[in-house]
């Protein structure tokens, strides 16, 4: 099953309650937080509702590995430290849908930095004029934000 990375880009000043609640359900409570979800009909519907506040797209295995190793945390805010082959097994189980991040013991969200070099496009417009919405360059954006 495909995995979608969602990054919250904009704040919540003057936002309707329905959108705030949807962002909370997606675990996007602060700016520059990333979550990884399955591409299901329900998740896509929630993402479409908040697409003017988030950037999203399909994440690849290399980017997911870098995200978990640099920004992944165990409960208690302890840094993730897997051995090489153990990390590959965890990634394969997660990408195949056998386990969730919570089952592995990793927090289901990742706190990121603002992108190095800034956003090259507007943070108020949808793709292709801005970074919001379905962004085909989401992997590059995540790498810039690590």
* 8: CATH: 3.30.1390.20
Helices marked H in the chain — which ranges?
17-25, 41-49, 61-71, 84-96, 101-104, 138-145
Instruction: Count how many domains the chain has.
Output: 1
Residue 8: how many other CB atoms lie within 10 Å: 24
pLDDT bracket for residue 17 (50, 70, 90): very high
Q: Of 22-26, 69-73, 102-106, 109-113, which range is least confident?
A: 102-106
Structural domain of 76: 3-145
Average pLDDT over residues 65-91: 80
pLDDT, one tens digit per residue, over 90-142 is: 888 888 878 887 888 888 889 999 988 888 887 777 888 888 989 888 999 99
pTM metric for this prediction: 0.87
What is the pLDDT, as a whole number, of residue 49?
92
């Amino acid at each position: 099953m495909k995995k979608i990375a969602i990054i919250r880009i904009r704040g919540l000043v003057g936002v309707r309650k329905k959108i705030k609640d949807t962002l909370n359900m997606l675990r996007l409570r602060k700016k520059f937080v990333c979550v990884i979800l399955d591409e299901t009909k329900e998740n896509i519907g929630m993402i479409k509702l908040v697409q003017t506040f988030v950037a999203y797209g399909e994440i690849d295995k290399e980017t997911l590995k870098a995200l978990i190793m640099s920004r992944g945390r165990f409960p208690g805010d302890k840094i993730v430290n897997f051995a090489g082959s153990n990390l590959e097994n965890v990634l394969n189980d997660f990408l195949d849908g056998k386990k969730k991040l919570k089952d592995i013991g990793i927090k289901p969200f990742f706190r990121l930095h603002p992108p190095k070099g800034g956003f090259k496009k507007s943070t108020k417009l949808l793709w292709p004029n801005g970074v919001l919405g379905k962004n085909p360059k989401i992997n590059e954006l995540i790498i810039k934000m690590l």
